[in-house]
Amino acid sequence: MNKIDILLGLQWGDEGKGKVVDALTPNYDIVARFQGGPNAGHTIEFEGRKFVLHNIPSGVLTPGCVNVIGNGVIIDPHILKGEIEGLRQAGFDLKDTLKIANRAHLILPTHRALDAANEKALGKMKIGSTLKGIGPTYTDKTARKGLRIGDIAMDGFREKYEKLKQAHLQQIQGLGFDMTGFQLDGVDFNEYEKLWFEGIEYLRQFSFIDSEYYLNEALDAGKKVLAEGAQGSMLDVDFGSYPFVTSSNVVAAGVCSGLGIAPSRIGKVYGIFKAYCTRVGTGPFPTELFDETGETLRRNGHEFGATTGRPRRCGWLDLPALKYAVMLSGVTDLMMMKSDVMDEFETIKVATAYRYQGQETQHLPFAACTETMEPVYTELPGWRKKIEDRRQETEDRRQEAGDRIPEKLEAYIKYIEDYVGVPIKFVSYGPDRTQNILR
Ligand code: GDP
Ligand code: IMO
Ligand code: MG
């Protein structure tokens, strides 16, 4: 029986999922997103070109690959239209290869306004949301009030829209939020609403599918399917540092509900992490660095949000958090990204435990958001050597493993493997789709 493979972020997002999904896509027939929405920003670079995808799966740049936006994803039709058109102008026509789940929920313009109103009301305690309407849309989904892609083709769509919009406007008013002059992506709210409906009309040309049937039947027919996660495990609504999280299940379980795939049909679980950590938005980050080293990570790693442009908070690798994420998703293969960012470092620290309430522990505590967790570090020597770039060589030669990884980087990798208990099979040393070594 064919199984679905999964690729997930294991930290706070932005691990490099877009790059790896794109690099793996030649091995798959279908790539499917299962959760999140345009809060994601997945970067792909090749042949000097750079693409950032938000609502669209990262398999779209590989000719022939079918890309599915699954039922667990939430969609802003205006943003999605912009992305599809941008890709079309760059030479990638998705008309026949992009499929959208009927059951995927729609992000209304008022969901985005509500997001802004909620954040404003939280004041200093704000989540640091990307303001794409994620929280309010998933709230309506669980409250059984949402509008779905399939509704577009049904009678009474406009009426349902108006009803939900009015309910949102009341909530917004209740929060004391003034809509006068409120803008979305630089345009007036009413103008955005017009663009949103244009987006709805535009999407009608794509196939709306029952993605649970589509994917299970594809697996039955022997097709190879990769599920692409957004965000990272530490932002999971159940297991992240609640309430400073996103509003979906980012862990492997999200694939079951977000695509309609049974647990027994899950194959490989690729877990991806950076050789250090970053986080955007508010919330605990035990290994965060506020010094020159943090600046160096940000500068070398170009750590600025792909969706919002915000500077990312940077810090050392957090092994208890990584091990936790591996446990939650049953990760079978690890992939380490951005090792090149620390090429010049003389020494590197990794957190191996936390000091919490006077005790040393490797468990992430429930009260992580309110109590102090001090990381306990182990210091390792830096490798001070670049992985030799063999972009010009053939795929086989390039991916020849072992000998190209500097000895001390190999020791760093082994240290992580020993701690976490899962092999690191893939090491990425640059943003280009070819800058990887298989171990
Ligand atoms: P995603 O959200 O997980 O897809 O990650 P983002 O695209 O938000 O952020 C990852 C950033 O790191 C992007 O700018 C990538 O081009 C870049 N990147 C990915 N892998 C590497 C790597 O190994 N080295 C370096 N220097 N950059 C990388
Ligand atoms: P990718 O897929 C990094 C963060 C936001 C905020 C919190 C909630 O590119 O890895 P939301 O907009 O979901 O209400 O924001 O989650 N966040 C991300 N951080 N990468 C992402 O996606 C993120 N998506 C949401 O910064 O702290
Ligand atoms: Mg990102």
Q: What is the pLDDT of residues 373-382, one digit of tens each?
A: 999 999 999 9
- Read off the pLDDT band of 399 (50, 70, 90): low
Q: Measure the CA–CA gap between 399 and 42, rounded to whole angstroms.
A: 23
CA 341 to ligand 1: nearest atom: 26
Mean pLDDT of 251-261: 98
Does residue 43 line the site of ligand 1, with CB under 6 A? yes
Tell me which of 5, 22, 42, 140 is the catalytic residue: 42
The closest of 240, 224, 207 to 104, measured between CA atoms, is 207
Q: To which H or E segment does residue 326 belong?
A: helix 319-329
Share of the chain above pLDDT 70, in %: 97
Q: Measure the CA–CA gap between 340 and 28, rounded to whole angstroms.
A: 28
Pairing status of strand 66-69 against strand 98-101: parallel
Does residue 17 line the site of ligand 1, with CB under 6 A? yes
Q: Does the annotation mark 432 as catalytic? A: no
By alpha-carbon position, which residue is closest to atom 25 of ligand 2?
39
**DSSP state at residue 340:** G
- CA 14 – ligand 3 centroid, Å: 4
CA 9 to ligand 1: nearest atom: 3
Q: Measure the CA–CA gap between 393 and 399, rounded to whole angstroms.
A: 9
- CA 431 – ligand 1 centroid, Å: 6
Q: What is the pLDDT of residue 391?
A: 63
Where is average pLDDT lowest: 63-77, 89-103, 305-319, 396-410? 396-410
Question: Is 436's pLDDT higher than 90?
Answer: yes
Q: Are the C-beta atoms of residues 255 and 31 closer than 8 Å to each other? A: no
Q: Which long-range contacts (CB under 8 A, 24 or more apart) does 144-148 make?
A: 146/105, 146/106, 147/105, 147/106, 147/108, 148/102, 148/103, 148/104, 148/105, 148/106
Q: What is the pLDDT of residue 134?
A: 98
φ and ψ at 109, to 5 degrees?
-55, -35
Q: To which H or E segment does residue 294 belong?
A: helix 292-300
Question: Is 397's pLDDT higher than 60?
Answer: no
Question: What does the pLDDT look like over 220-243, one tens digit per residue?
Answer: 999 999 999 999 999 999 999 999
- CA 301 – ligand 1 centroid, Å: 8
Question: Is 396's pLDDT higher than 80?
Answer: no
- Read off the pLDDT band of 269 (50, 70, 90): very high
Per the listing, tokens 């990425």 go with 428
For a ligand 2 pocket test, name from 15, 231, 251 the mutation site with the most ligand atoms within 8 angstroms of its C-beta: 231
**pTM for the whole structure:** 0.96
Measured from the alpha carbon of residue 278, the closest ligand is: 2
Q: Does the annotation mark 168 as catalytic? A: no
Does residue 428 line the site of ligand 1, with CB under 6 A? yes
Measured from the alpha carbon of residue 242, the closest ligand is: 2
Per the listing, tokens 């936006």 go with 69
- CA 272 – ligand 3 centroid, Å: 13
- CA 356 – ligand 3 centroid, Å: 30
Q: What is the pLDDT of residue 426?
A: 95
Q: Measure the CA–CA gap between 44 and 61, rounded to whole angstroms.
A: 9
Q: Measure the CA–CA gap between 104 and 98, rounded to whole angstroms.
A: 14
Per the listing, tokens 């008309």 go with 95
Q: Are the C-beta atoms of residues 227 and 7 closer than 8 Å to each other? A: yes
Question: Is 401's pLDDT higher than 60?
Answer: no
Structure tokens at 83: 């992305």
Q: Are the C-beta atoms of residues 342 and 276 closer than 8 Å to each other? A: yes
Mean pLDDT of 180-203: 97
Q: Are the C-beta atoms of residues 314 and 308 closer than 8 Å to each other? A: no
Sequence-ordered list of residues with C-beta below 8 angstroms from that of 215, at least 6 positions apart, any chain: 4, 30, 32, 68, 70, 225, 259, 260, 261
For a ligand 2 pocket test, name from 39, 282, 313, 338 the mutation site with the most ligand atoms within 8 angstroms of its C-beta: 39
Tell me which of 5, 14, 236, 318 is the catalytic residue: 14
Structure tokens at 123: 């004041």
Residues at CB less than 6 angstroms from ligand 2: 9, 12-14, 39-42, 127-130, 132, 134-135, 230-232, 235, 246, 280-281, 306
Average pLDDT across the chain, whole number: 95
Q: What is the pLDDT of residue 49?
A: 96
Residues in a beta bridge with 279: 313
Max Cα separation, the chain?
65
For a ligand 2 pocket test, name from 15, 44, 129 the mutation site with the most ligand atoms within 8 angstroms of its C-beta: 129
